[in-house]
Amino acid sequence: MPNYGLLLGCAATLSFTVALVAQPASATKPAKPAHSIEAAPKAVSPNAEKEAAPKSPAPPKEPPITFNSVHVDGPYIAMTFDDGPSAALTPKLLDILAAHHMKVTFFVLGEMVAEHPEILARAAREGHEIASHSWSHPNFAKMSQESIRSQLQRTDDEINSATGKRPTLFRPPYGSITEREKRWIHDEFGYEIILWDVDPLDWKRPGPAVVRNRILKETRPGSIVLSHDIHPGTIEAMPSTFDELEAKGFKFVTVSELIAMATPETPHPKAKPAEKTATKAAPSAVPTSSPGG
């Protein structure tokens, strides 16, 4: 006799299984494929973009063409003498320089070289540097370019004729020259423009002791010292001036030698700006600068 209980149980199990298989696929939520999920782009700060961007190298710094003094490692200075050569005084100065075994730079006037080429030839022969100081000592800042060019070319030619060598340095009369003039003179003649940082004002003829004391007081390593070999008091002051500068440890070189010794100056760290406060500082009753600026 058939087992109806067992048949009914099998039928129930089969119905339940068919119901599960027939359930629609939408009942279970399918997982999203991994590649369909996109991360939101990160916001990049402007500063980060600047830091990430490759830095272009800074353009090379142009070498200076004008010198008042030179930053050097060591007690080196350059003595310079203007407005000669003088028939009476420059030979005396050359004798003093020879006795001290020192070399200087002469900034000469073309018209004086034309009168005394043999003195300039001696100075060059004894190892001194010869440089241009114009033909007749005019104020370049008040002259046309063509007039300046004539002053320089005539002097250049006269120095070359007397010494066999053209100058590479130029000192403007009175130190008077515009920035534009410096540039085109350098570009056209190749001159470096030489001024000074020590001036004993010997052209005022204050006397040998004053000239000496002013030079001793103001001279520092790297100084370019201005004097004139056309004033008797200046020549008289030089032996004791040289002695005392040597006693201080200074060593004498020409201007070109001094420039060749130049070393870069160490930049000083910038001071941090003071923090801003909510309260405004009261104005000072004392002016921040004198009327002269």
Choose which CATH entry (3.20.20.370, 3.30.540.10, 3.40.50.1000, 3.40.50.720) describes domain 66-260. 3.20.20.370
Structural domain spans, the chain: 66-260
Question: Six-digit token pair at 71?
Answer: 């930053």
Q: What is the pLDDT of residue 47?
A: 57
Catalytic positions are 82, 228
256 alpha-carbon distance from chain centroid: 16
* Per-residue pLDDT at 159: 98
pLDDT at residue 51, rounded to an integer: 54
Predicted TM-score (pTM) of the model is: 0.73
Regions of the chain with pLDDT less than 50: 1-40, 275-293
